[in-house]
Structure 1
Amino acid sequence: MSSKLARMSFQERLDHFISTIRTEIVGGLRKPGTYLPSESTMAKQFQLSNKSVRKGLELLVEEGLIVKIDRVGSMVTETARQIITLNFGYNSTLNEDFVLGDLLAEFQRLHPYIYVRAIPMSVDEHVKLVGEMMSNGLLDVVSLNSVQFQELAEAGMTSMLEPLEEVDGLYPITSEAFRVGEEYFVRPISFSPVVLCYNKAHFAEAGIPEPDSYWTWEDLLQAARRISEVRGKHSIYFVPASENRYPIFLLQGGMQMEMDEGGQIRIGEKMAESLRLYSRLVKDHTIFPKYFADRSDDETIQLFAQEQVSIIITTHFNMNAFNQLQLPYDVCPIPGIHRGDPQKTLLITIGAGISHNSREKEAARTLVDFLASAEAQQIIRDRTVSIPALRAAAEAGAGQEHLNRPSRTLFYRELFPTFKYHHEIGLPIRAMKTFSRSLKAYWSEMIDETMLQEHLKELIVKQLAETDS
């Protein structure tokens, strides 16, 4: 922590000191009637002067958390017993996605009598875990992204969440992610389209113009081959079976069925073409690394940050890993199958909702409202490259200039009609997870293209039948 403190400004160290002591008190680590360490001890621990420590303690006195006793020290007061504690179940990636820790610290400063116990949840089992914990009254607030909310809704579990009113000023498309009928259940915090992220220097080295919104996947393949030829390395990577990657090709291919010459139902030709194109990309190991073909998004980011690959498919959330790097990168829209086709890509929105079984609904609503407030949204804008859900914050001037922010960040403003949520593909989340296993089997040559298409056809026909019934 000492090296981290050394990189902080004076104000950041002071805020960190106040937030740490406050959290220890309201979280129960420092009991009423006990004393804080001496001012000199805390000054050394937090790399502050004694005068600065006294300034921070005065704020805690104003909040009623401590009382200063002459010639004795600073004692934790009985007020700490009155603190409301909220259990917040959140995706473990949110600290990187939009500095959740900073947001909660600011909330604690503004609302010293509400303590938020942040409980990280497994991303893979998030919906299952929050469902179980909400049903048992163990969570007050939960984070959900648009895919997780769709899975929750498909399981008929939205009654576990309190309906919320729509908030003015948020991008309307962000609220649509969390609507069922006429009710909204999750307050949007941040969003990102799935985008193409590329190394500008590598394109210049290969003598190739940077990608633009007119690109097709064939253009991408040609550029990737040229970059690999010039640099002698693989040029493109992403997790091919990811639920936020391969469905782009289902979206662009369209979930259409047609009759073959023998009168049998089959998937539409454009969908078949889209799947073949995707497989060509993933299985071309002159440009796409075979060894990493089923690893995590973290390794995607690591490969790009180390300049081992030149192009990745990712989101603004993941690009926060580049904030402090001297990496010449930028972003552009996802390519299309054919030139002139309507552009389509997936949109991921993250928000927070209130558990119906919470015993502290008023405090929970205060937290949820804060996360979408101008103050919180500006923190996201200033300290990350993630896109705030609040329009005024998202489109404000650049935040802290030390961030390595892509110059084309705001291109999304012109492309909202091209952004689609997973439910617009036409398959439930459980079917997409099933089909991702079929893709892995196909890429491993355990099944052929005919079997892959047959499996997709079965999933589509099943969904159509369930929809009709």
Structure 2
Amino acid sequence: MSYKLDRPSFQERLDYFVNVIRTDIINGIRQDGTYLPAESALAKQYQLSNKSIRKGLDQLVEEGLIQKIDRVGSMVTPRPKASITLNFGCPISLTTDFLIDDLIAEFGRRNPGIHVRRITLNHLSYAQSAQEMIDNGLLDVVAFNSPQFQEWTEEGLVPLLEKLESDPDIYPIAEEAFIVDGVSYAKPISFSPVVLCYNKRHFREAGIHEPDSYWTWSDLMRESTRLSKARGRHGIYFLPASENRYPVFLLQGMNRRPSGANGREPGDDMQRGLQALNGLIGNREVFPNYWAQGNDETVQLFAEGQVSVILCTYFNLNEFAHLPLEYDICPLPSLQRGDPQRTLLLSIGMSLVRHSKWKEAARRFVDFLASADAQNVIRERTASIPARKASAEQPTAEGRNQPSRYAMFREMFPSFSYHRDLGLQIKDLKQFTKWLKEYWSDMIDADTLRIKLGELYGKGLKPGESDTSVDEIAHR
């Protein structure tokens, strides 16, 4: 994520300085044997004191990335000429999701003959950009999250990847997203369900009990109304059109009965979830009429106290690590009392390109990221959940602002669902996202939205055809 407070804390500024210099060195922007700017210049550039700059430089010295030359300056450490350079394609979010640059640096220290070059792939056309680079021999390892890998599979691109051995020490559900015809094509590194994140102080000051797994969305709306009245601010927010948020409501709508039971299609029961979604985001007393550019802005609204509750992942919690924010998490509400819990799961894995020139070195890098050493770094230094069981179940590290309910994911496994459980291809989900935006903008009506959703499932509903759950869609 790119979100930072207007007045970032000292630790955030220091971490940012170290991360920028580290990344520049790893990616060859600052070449071996060259010198960093003077400490005074770095202090001015990164809004830190000279003492703080020295502290950051000392950390880079410990990592073996720079050497301090007395009376001369800080020199980028000359490294043994790498005989192998691995090209690693991934989204920029991995720098905060689980400190990928730190892990790359550690891998380099352990494998001095292998240099890993991180390449940021276009998140808007991830599969296409990864495919083009693989076809041109420009990638050795590529990272996927679960919906990206689903799209990759649907596009018939799995043969571009190497088959991998399953690891019994990895949570099986984290690996499920990357299994095709019984074969794994990615090693899971981290995963997260979508959860409810709330400001404990806001609830306490309003005299409202904190949310728990017994809550329904109606309970959340009722208590959010009380929060809004008590604080003069909105109660809850998430980006409605996010394909990692609104599908939660579609999945919960499918809880009524197995898909296709009693002659009904999945799209019919999804209308039940849409009814709850539209009722929530259409309530201007609790939900602001705010169109964020991404989930970063949702996190910012929460961090600034503009809203009291958000839908987020464990990855998002990394933005709160150094903030004086009193918060916690709990499972998402259900549509109705007694419904089984259900939420969306995101898994991140690393795939080995089948025709990589440096396949064994690439395999070593992938294995390292899934190793106990790397997974322990994720657990100790982030709020993300490692895919390795023993690492994930370690006690929460001190000195980081992490939720007291961090370990609740261990009890939530039965509620986890992937995007594929919607029964839609990713291209269809993207099309439905467009229709939802049109509906929320009053460009199409509820009946048209109902028909379009039916078309995705091949029902071809006609205008005026009756379906109780469809006709109950709440209007804004």
TM range (shorter): 0.7 to 0.9
CA distance in 2, matches of 1:203, 1:189: 34
Match of 2:270 in 1: 271
Distance in 2, Cα, partners of 1:17 & 1:437: 36
Q: Which amino acid aligns with 2:423?
A: G
Kindly tell me: are residues 346 and 42 of structure 1, through their superposed partners in 2, closer, same or farther at Cα, counting changes over 3 Å? Answer: same
Change in CA separation of 1:299 and 1:148 when aligned onto 2, cut-off 3 Å: same
Other structure's SS at 2:119 match: strand
What is the distance in 2 between the residues matched to 1:405 and 1:451? 44
Aligned positions, number: 436
Task: Give yes or no for contact 2:25–2:76 (8 Å, CA) kept in 1.
Answer: no
1:210 aligns with 2:217: no
Pairing partner for 1:339 from 334, 337, 340: 337
Are residues 165 and 343 of structure 1, via their aligned partners in 2, closer, same or farther at CA, if it must alter by over 3 Å?
same
Q: TM-score, normalised by structure 2?
A: 0.82
Q: Is the contact made by 1:241 and 1:294 (CA closer than 8 Å) also made in structure 2?
A: no
Q: 1:436 aligns with which of 412, 433, 444?
A: 433
Separation (CA, whole Å) in 2 of partners of 1:95 and 1:75: 21
5+ long unaligned stretches in structure 2: 1-7, 43-51, 70-74, 461-476
Assess if the C-alpha contact under 8 Å between 1:92 and 1:122 holds in 2: no
For 2:376, the equivalent position in structure 1 comes to: 378
Aligned to 2:282: 283
In structure 2, do the counterparts of structure 1 residues 203 and 349 end up closer, same or farther at CA, with 3 Å as the change threshold?
Answer: same
1:197 Cα shift? 0.6
Identity of aligned pairs, percent?
A: 46
Q: Say whether residues 1:448 and 2:442 are aligned partners.
A: no
Give 1:229 deviation, angstroms. Answer: 1.1
Rounded Cα–Cα distance in structure 2 between residues aligned with 1:348 and 1:284: 28
Q: Is the 8 A contact 2:251 2:273 kept in 1?
A: no
User: Which runs of structure 2 are paired with 1:149-228 in the superposition (5 Å)?
Assistant: 149-228=149-228
8 Å contact from structure 1 (residues 266, 454) kept in 2: no
Could you say what secondary structure the match of 1:242 adopts?
A: coil
Maintained 8 Å contact 1:178/1:184: yes
Alignment CA distance shift 1:133-1:55 (3 Å): closer
Counterpart of 2:352 in structure 1 is 354
Distance apart, 1:288 and its partner CA: 1.0
State yes or no: 1:413 paired with 2:410: yes
CA change 1:82–1:371 in 2 (3 A) is closer
Which residue does the alignment assign to 1:318?
Answer: 316
CA contact 1:324–1:403 (8 Å) conserved in 2: yes
Contact 2:91–2:120 under 8 Å retained in 1: yes
Asked if 1:148 is matched to 2:148, the reply is yes
The answer as to whether partners of 1:42 and 1:53 remain within 8 angstroms in 2 is: no
Q: CA deviation at 1:444?
A: 1.3
Give the stretch that moved more between structures: 440-449 or 149-158. 440-449
Q: Could you list the per-position Cα deviations for residues 206-255 of structure 1 after superposition, in whole angstroms to 9, with x for gaps in the alignment?
A: 22111111111111111111111111111111111111111111111118
Equivalent residues of 1:322, 1:404 under 8 A apart: yes
Aligned to 1:71: none
In 1: Cα distance, 2:77 partner to 2:419 partner: 50
**Aligned pair 1:128/2:125, yes or no?**
no
Whether the 8 Å contact between 1:442 and 1:448 is mirrored in structure 2 is yes
Q: Determine the C-alpha separation between the residues in 2 that align with 1:16 and 1:461.
A: 49
Aligned equivalents of 1:154, 1:54: Cα separation in 2: 43
Task: Give the match's secondary structure for 1:194.
Answer: strand
273 and 110 in structure 1: CA distance in 2 versus 1, 3 angstrom threshold: same
Q: 1:412/1:266 Cα in 2 relative to 1: closer, same or farther (>3 Å)?
A: closer
Instruction: String of CA shifts for 1:356-386, please: whole Å, max 9, x gaps.
Output: 2210111111110011111111111111101
- 1:302 & 1:150 partners in 2: Cα distance? 30
Whole-Å Cα distance in 2 between the matches of residues 277 and 28 of structure 1? 50
Contact in 1 for aligned 2:35/2:76 (Cα 8 Å): no
Cα offsets for 1:254-282 (capped at 9, x unmatched): 1846899xxxx777664322211110111
The one-letter code sitting in structure 2 at the alignment partner of 1:417 is: P
- The alpha-carbon distance between structure 1 residues 126 and 283, as it changes in their structure 2 partners (threshold 3 A), is same
Q: 1:105 to 1:460 in 2, by over 3 A?
A: same
Q: Deviations over 1:389-409 (max 9, x none)?
A: 01111111222x221100001
The alignment's C-alpha RMSD in Å is 3.6
Distance 1:324 1:28 in 2: 28
CA distance in structure 1 between the partners assigned to 2:451 and 2:76 by the alignment: 70
The alignment's TM-score, normalised by the length of structure 1, stands at 0.83
Identify the range of structure 1 (294-303 vs 137-146) with the bigger mean alpha-carbon deviation: 294-303
Distance 1:279 1:362, change over 3 A: same
**C-alpha displacement at 1:47, in angstroms?**
5.5
Structure 1 position 121, deviation (Å)? 1.6
Which residue matches 2:94? 94
Structure 1 residues 226 and 447 mapped into 2: Cα distance closer, same or farther (>3 Å)?
same
The CA deviation at 1:41 is 7.4
Deviations 1:272-300 (A, max 9, x none): 2221111011111111111x235310110
2:291 maps to which of 274, 290, 293: 293
Which of 458, 461, 464 is residue 458 of structure 2 equivalent to? Answer: 461
1:371 counterpart letter in structure 2: L
The whole-number CA distance in structure 2 between the counterparts of 1:389 and 1:441 is 38
Measured at CA, do residues 17 and 315 of structure 1 come closer, stay the same or move farther in structure 2, by a change above 3 Å? Answer: closer
| Max Rg structure | 1
Q: Secondary structure at the match of 2:363?
A: helix
Match of 2:72 in 1: none
**TM-superposition CA deviations, 1:294-319 (whole Å, max 9, x none):** 53101100000000000101101011
1:372 alignment partner AA: A
Partner Cα separation in structure 2 for residue 218 and residue 207 of structure 1: 18
Q: Which residues in structure 2 correspond to 1:230-249 (within 5 Å)?
A: 230-249=230-249
SS in 2 for 1:235: strand
- Which letter does structure 2 place at the counterpart of 1:415? M
Residue 167 of structure 2 aligns to a residue whose secondary structure is coil
Cα deviation, residue 198, structure 1: 0.7
Give, in angstroms, the shift of residue 182 of structure 1. Answer: 1.4
- Please give the secondary structure, in 2, of the residue aligned with 1:209: coil
